[in-house]
Structure 1
Protein backbone atom coordinates (compact mmCIF):
# COMPACT_ATOMS: atom_id res chain seq x y z
CA UNK A 1 0.00 0.00 0.00
CA UNK A 2 1.41 3.39 -1.01
CA UNK A 3 1.92 5.99 1.70
CA UNK A 4 0.15 9.30 1.81
CA UNK A 5 1.63 11.93 -0.49
CA UNK A 6 2.46 14.19 2.47
CA UNK A 7 5.06 11.61 3.53
CA UNK A 8 7.22 12.63 0.55
CA UNK A 9 6.93 16.39 1.21
CA UNK A 10 10.30 17.95 2.04
CA UNK A 11 10.43 19.06 5.66
CA UNK A 12 12.20 22.25 4.51
CA UNK A 13 9.07 23.11 2.49
CA UNK A 14 6.68 22.48 5.38
CA UNK A 15 8.69 24.23 8.09
CA UNK A 16 7.84 27.81 6.95
CA UNK A 17 4.15 26.96 7.31
CA UNK A 18 4.75 26.10 10.96
CA UNK A 19 6.69 29.28 11.68
CA UNK A 20 4.27 31.50 9.75
CA UNK A 21 1.30 30.09 11.64
CA UNK A 22 2.99 30.68 14.96
CA UNK A 23 4.30 34.16 14.09
CA UNK A 24 0.85 35.32 12.88
CA UNK A 25 -0.34 34.61 16.42
CA UNK A 26 2.53 36.42 18.14
CA UNK A 27 4.72 33.39 18.80
CA UNK A 28 8.30 32.94 17.61
CA UNK A 29 10.41 30.75 15.35
CA UNK A 30 12.45 29.89 18.44
CA UNK A 31 9.33 28.47 20.11
CA UNK A 32 8.51 26.41 17.01
CA UNK A 33 12.09 25.10 17.00
CA UNK A 34 11.88 24.28 20.71
CA UNK A 35 8.79 22.14 20.13
CA UNK A 36 10.34 20.34 17.17
CA UNK A 37 13.49 19.62 19.19
CA UNK A 38 11.38 18.45 22.15
CA UNK A 39 9.41 16.09 19.94
CA UNK A 40 12.23 14.64 17.84
CA UNK A 41 15.49 14.91 19.77
CA UNK A 42 17.23 16.75 16.94
CA UNK A 43 19.79 19.38 17.93
CA UNK A 44 19.37 22.98 16.80
CA UNK A 45 22.25 22.51 14.34
CA UNK A 46 20.60 19.42 12.87
CA UNK A 47 17.28 21.24 12.58
CA UNK A 48 18.94 24.23 10.93
CA UNK A 49 20.38 21.88 8.30
CA UNK A 50 17.01 20.18 7.74
CA UNK A 51 15.19 23.50 7.21
CA UNK A 52 17.75 24.88 4.76
CA UNK A 53 15.87 25.69 1.55
CA UNK A 54 16.53 22.98 -0.99
CA UNK A 55 17.13 20.26 1.62
CA UNK A 56 15.14 17.31 0.25
CA UNK A 57 14.73 15.29 3.47
CA UNK A 58 11.06 14.34 3.37
CA UNK A 59 8.72 13.88 6.32
CA UNK A 60 9.12 10.12 6.26
CA UNK A 61 12.92 10.47 6.54
CA UNK A 62 12.63 13.34 9.03
CA UNK A 63 10.70 11.23 11.53
CA UNK A 64 12.45 7.92 10.75
CA UNK A 65 15.87 9.48 11.35
CA UNK A 66 14.90 11.53 14.41
CA UNK A 67 17.50 10.92 17.12
CA UNK A 68 15.00 10.22 19.92
CA UNK A 69 11.28 10.70 19.63
CA UNK A 70 10.03 11.99 22.96
CA UNK A 71 8.04 9.29 24.76
CA UNK A 72 5.86 12.02 26.32
CA UNK A 73 4.33 12.61 22.88
CA UNK A 74 1.87 9.83 23.71
CA UNK A 75 0.22 12.33 26.07
CA UNK A 76 -0.73 14.54 23.10
CA UNK A 77 -4.46 14.14 22.58
CA UNK A 78 -7.27 15.86 20.78
CA UNK A 79 -7.97 16.45 17.12
CA UNK A 80 -6.08 17.86 14.16
CA UNK A 81 -8.02 18.81 11.03
CA UNK A 82 -11.08 17.14 12.53
CA UNK A 83 -9.33 13.81 13.04
CA UNK A 84 -8.84 12.48 16.55
CA UNK A 85 -5.22 11.57 17.21
CA UNK A 86 -6.36 8.41 18.99
CA UNK A 87 -7.99 7.19 15.75
CA UNK A 88 -4.91 7.57 13.52
CA UNK A 89 -3.59 4.12 12.68
CA UNK A 90 -0.60 4.94 10.46
CA UNK A 91 2.42 5.50 12.76
CA UNK A 92 4.04 8.08 10.46
CA UNK A 93 0.82 10.05 10.03
CA UNK A 94 0.46 10.04 13.82
CA UNK A 95 3.95 11.55 14.23
CA UNK A 96 3.13 14.24 11.67
CA UNK A 97 -0.14 15.04 13.43
CA UNK A 98 1.57 15.20 16.81
CA UNK A 99 3.77 17.97 15.42
CA UNK A 100 0.75 19.67 13.86
CA UNK A 101 -1.03 19.57 17.22
CA UNK A 102 1.96 21.09 19.04
CA UNK A 103 2.08 23.96 16.54
CA UNK A 104 -1.70 24.45 16.81
CA UNK A 105 -1.45 24.72 20.59
CA UNK A 106 1.41 27.20 20.28
CA UNK A 107 -0.59 29.34 17.84
CA UNK A 108 -3.58 29.25 20.18
CA UNK A 109 -1.49 30.87 22.90
CA UNK A 110 -1.01 27.88 25.16
CA UNK A 111 1.95 28.17 27.54
CA UNK A 112 5.09 26.31 26.49
CA UNK A 113 5.14 24.43 29.80
CA UNK A 114 1.68 23.04 29.05
CA UNK A 115 2.49 22.20 25.44
CA UNK A 116 5.61 20.24 26.40
CA UNK A 117 3.98 17.36 28.17
CA UNK A 118 5.79 15.44 30.82
CA UNK A 119 5.68 11.73 31.31
CA UNK A 120 3.25 10.55 33.95
CA UNK A 121 4.85 9.11 37.06
CA UNK A 122 5.10 5.29 37.03
CA UNK A 123 2.30 3.56 38.90
Structure 2
Protein backbone atom coordinates (compact mmCIF):
# COMPACT_ATOMS: atom_id res chain seq x y z
CA UNK A 1 0.00 0.00 0.00
CA UNK A 2 1.32 3.39 -0.95
CA UNK A 3 0.28 6.43 1.04
CA UNK A 4 1.44 9.94 0.42
CA UNK A 5 3.80 11.93 2.62
CA UNK A 6 1.02 14.16 3.97
CA UNK A 7 -0.95 11.13 5.21
CA UNK A 8 2.19 9.65 6.79
CA UNK A 9 2.93 12.93 8.60
CA UNK A 10 -0.65 13.21 9.82
CA UNK A 11 -0.45 9.71 11.33
CA UNK A 12 3.03 10.35 12.79
CA UNK A 13 1.94 13.58 14.48
CA UNK A 14 -1.34 12.25 15.88
CA UNK A 15 -1.31 11.85 19.65
CA UNK A 16 -1.76 8.30 20.93
CA UNK A 17 -3.63 9.78 23.91
CA UNK A 18 -6.21 11.33 21.56
CA UNK A 19 -7.00 7.95 19.98
CA UNK A 20 -6.84 5.81 23.13
CA UNK A 21 -10.30 6.86 24.47
CA UNK A 22 -11.81 5.84 21.12
CA UNK A 23 -10.18 2.41 21.44
CA UNK A 24 -11.62 2.08 24.96
CA UNK A 25 -15.11 3.11 23.82
CA UNK A 26 -14.99 0.69 20.89
CA UNK A 27 -14.06 -2.36 22.95
CA UNK A 28 -16.30 -1.52 25.91
CA UNK A 29 -19.28 -1.04 23.58
CA UNK A 30 -18.72 -4.65 22.49
CA UNK A 31 -18.44 -6.00 26.04
CA UNK A 32 -14.65 -6.09 26.37
CA UNK A 33 -12.67 -4.26 29.03
CA UNK A 34 -10.04 -1.53 29.21
CA UNK A 35 -7.78 -4.08 30.92
CA UNK A 36 -8.04 -6.36 27.88
CA UNK A 37 -7.31 -3.42 25.59
CA UNK A 38 -4.24 -2.54 27.64
CA UNK A 39 -3.09 -6.16 27.51
CA UNK A 40 -3.25 -6.07 23.72
CA UNK A 41 -1.38 -2.74 23.54
CA UNK A 42 1.29 -3.95 25.98
CA UNK A 43 1.73 -7.17 23.98
CA UNK A 44 2.23 -5.29 20.71
CA UNK A 45 4.49 -2.54 22.03
CA UNK A 46 6.46 -4.27 24.78
CA UNK A 47 5.62 -1.45 27.16
CA UNK A 48 4.87 -1.92 30.83
CA UNK A 49 1.60 -0.55 32.21
CA UNK A 50 3.51 2.38 33.72
CA UNK A 51 5.23 3.15 30.41
CA UNK A 52 1.89 3.06 28.60
CA UNK A 53 0.37 5.44 31.14
CA UNK A 54 3.36 7.77 30.80
CA UNK A 55 2.82 7.94 27.02
CA UNK A 56 -0.85 8.71 27.56
CA UNK A 57 -0.07 11.40 30.15
CA UNK A 58 2.57 13.05 27.97
CA UNK A 59 0.36 12.89 24.85
CA UNK A 60 3.11 11.14 22.88
CA UNK A 61 2.57 11.19 19.12
CA UNK A 62 2.43 7.90 17.21
CA UNK A 63 5.91 8.41 15.75
CA UNK A 64 7.47 8.49 19.21
CA UNK A 65 5.02 5.97 20.68
CA UNK A 66 6.07 3.30 18.19
CA UNK A 67 9.63 4.63 17.87
CA UNK A 68 10.24 3.80 21.54
CA UNK A 69 8.28 0.53 21.47
CA UNK A 70 9.79 -2.93 21.45
CA UNK A 71 7.44 -4.44 18.87
CA UNK A 72 6.48 -8.03 19.65
CA UNK A 73 8.37 -10.57 17.50
CA UNK A 74 5.04 -12.05 16.36
CA UNK A 75 3.63 -8.71 15.21
CA UNK A 76 4.31 -9.76 11.61
CA UNK A 77 1.63 -12.44 12.09
CA UNK A 78 -1.04 -9.72 12.24
CA UNK A 79 -2.77 -9.91 8.88
CA UNK A 80 -6.04 -8.91 7.35
CA UNK A 81 -7.84 -5.84 6.17
CA UNK A 82 -8.14 -2.60 8.12
CA UNK A 83 -9.46 0.65 6.66
CA UNK A 84 -9.62 -1.07 3.26
CA UNK A 85 -5.94 -2.06 3.20
CA UNK A 86 -4.15 -5.33 3.95
CA UNK A 87 -1.91 -4.61 6.94
CA UNK A 88 0.76 -6.98 5.68
CA UNK A 89 1.02 -4.98 2.42
CA UNK A 90 1.52 -1.56 4.03
CA UNK A 91 5.00 -0.39 3.11
CA UNK A 92 5.53 2.52 5.52
CA UNK A 93 6.67 1.00 8.86
CA UNK A 94 4.93 3.50 11.16
CA UNK A 95 1.66 3.34 9.26
CA UNK A 96 1.85 -0.46 9.37
CA UNK A 97 2.43 -0.44 13.13
CA UNK A 98 -0.52 1.88 13.73
CA UNK A 99 -2.69 -0.37 11.56
CA UNK A 100 -1.44 -3.42 13.49
CA UNK A 101 -2.82 -1.77 16.60
CA UNK A 102 -6.09 -0.89 14.84
CA UNK A 103 -6.43 -4.50 13.69
CA UNK A 104 -5.85 -5.87 17.20
CA UNK A 105 -8.44 -3.46 18.63
CA UNK A 106 -10.92 -4.61 15.96
CA UNK A 107 -10.28 -8.25 16.78
CA UNK A 108 -10.79 -7.55 20.49
CA UNK A 109 -14.04 -5.71 19.79
CA UNK A 110 -15.25 -8.56 17.58
CA UNK A 111 -14.90 -10.99 20.48
CA UNK A 112 -11.87 -12.99 19.37
CA UNK A 113 -10.15 -14.99 22.09
CA UNK A 114 -7.08 -13.34 23.59
CA UNK A 115 -4.85 -16.28 22.59
CA UNK A 116 -5.69 -15.63 18.94
CA UNK A 117 -5.37 -11.87 19.22
CA UNK A 118 -1.97 -12.21 20.88
CA UNK A 119 -0.83 -14.67 18.20
CA UNK A 120 -0.02 -17.45 20.68
TM-score relative to the length of structure 1: 0.89
How many residues are aligned here? 115
More helix, by proportion: 2
2:28 corresponds to which of 19, 23, 27: 23
Match of 2:114 in 1: 112
Gaps of 5+ in 2: none
The answer to whether residue 64 in structure 2 is matched with residue 61 in structure 1 is: yes
* Cα separation, 1, equivalents of 2:88 and 2:119: 16
Match of 2:90 in 1: 88
Q: CA RMSD in A?
A: 1.1
TM-score relative to the length of structure 2: 0.91
Tell me how far 1:7 sits from its aligned partner: 1.2
Cα deviation digits, residues 52-82 of structure 1 (max 9, x gap): 2xx231000000011x210101011100011
* Cα separation, 2, equivalents of 1:30 and 1:94: 24
Larger radius of gyration: 1
Match of 1:97 in 2: 99
Does the aligned pair in 1 maintain the 2:78–2:88 contact within 8 Å? Answer: no
